Amino acid sequence: MSRRPADPIARLAKLEAARAAIDDTETFNARDMATIAWRNMREIVAADQDFPVAVRGSEGVPFVFNGAAVLDYMIAKARSVQADRERRTDRATFLAGLGAQAGPSPSGNSKGSGSAARELMEDAKALSALIDVQAKLRAEKVAQGKLIDRAETEDFLWRWLSGLQSSVLAIEGRIDKAGKIEPDIRTAVKDELAAALVEMRTELEKRIEAWNARAG
């Protein structure tokens, strides 16, 4: 028996290729069917009461399988498993806030309302747990100095700009204590410094507004 593909996507592709290669009426014994489907037929039949068996083997009577029915059944199950895995991945991504979806949340599916309600409750519990974990991690990072508090940062930047403005505007008096610089030059320098400070304040306001908007 050839080795069973470990990757679910590769396994599904091989099952589909095998299905395309056989006729609807072809039958196989357990050994030949195992070679095609990469599974021990006796084990899978024992574990799955719905598995299609043309003739169930017993003492002296070999198993007989319709190849098309077996592969159609296994392909359907493989697709269902793959779809469920993708749905769980999408839901985890949704809950983690790593991506947005244009359609309904990952909980939306074709199952009954009871199942959908249970999944919504699971989503809510998972989201609540995720928020708690994120809050604890953030608090730990702030305490460890790995994350800077936004409010503290904003307060620091405004105080820093205010101190810079006072220092810059005081330059005029420090560099010309004797009053030797021409009045028009003194005024021009003062205006340029003031204009530069206004630009800095405007830029800081834009940055802080953008941060606050992203933070919600």
| Domain-terminating residue out of 88, 116, 132 | 88
Name the range with the highest mean pLDDT among 66-75, 121-130, 132-141: 66-75
pTM of the model: 0.42
Note the pLDDT of residue 100.
Answer: 42
Question: Is the model's pLDDT at 101 over the cut of 60?
Answer: no
What is the helix (H) or strand (E) element at residue 28, kind and residue range?
A: strand 27-28
- Could you tell me the CATH number of the domain that includes residue 35? 1.10.10
When pLDDT is cut at 50, 70 and 90, the band that residue 145 belongs to is: low
Does residue 20 form part of some domain? yes
Domain that holds residue 15: 8-88
Question: Is the model's pLDDT at 2 over the cut of 50?
Answer: no
| pLDDT tens string 26-77 | 988 888 888 877 667 778 888 888 888 888 877 788 889 898 998 999 899 8
Cβ 74 vs Cβ 37: under 8 Å: yes
Residues 17 and 35 in one domain: yes
Going by C-alpha positions, the residue among 31, 29, 39 that lies closest to residue 78 is 39
Dist CA 115 CA 89 (whole Å): 18
Residues 69 and 123 in one domain: no
- Total count of domains within the chain: 3
Residues 159 and 206 in one domain: yes
Neighbours of 107 (CB within 10 A): 21
Does residue 3 form part of some domain? no
Question: What are the tokens at 49?
Answer: 């009461």
| pLDDT tens string 157-215 | 888 888 888 887 777 677 777 777 787 887 888 788 888 888 888 888 888 888 777 76
Residues 73 and 18 in one domain: yes
Does residue 1 form part of some domain? no
Partnered with residue 175 across adjacent β-strands are none
Does residue 153 form part of some domain? yes
Strands 65-66 and 27-28: antiparallel
Q: Find all residues with CB under 8 Å of 37, minimum gap 6, and list them.
A: 15, 18, 70, 71, 74
Question: Is the model's pLDDT at 128 over the cut of 70?
Answer: no
Does residue 2 form part of some domain? no
Question: Is the model's pLDDT at 109 over the cut of 70?
Answer: no
Residues 190 and 164 in one domain: yes
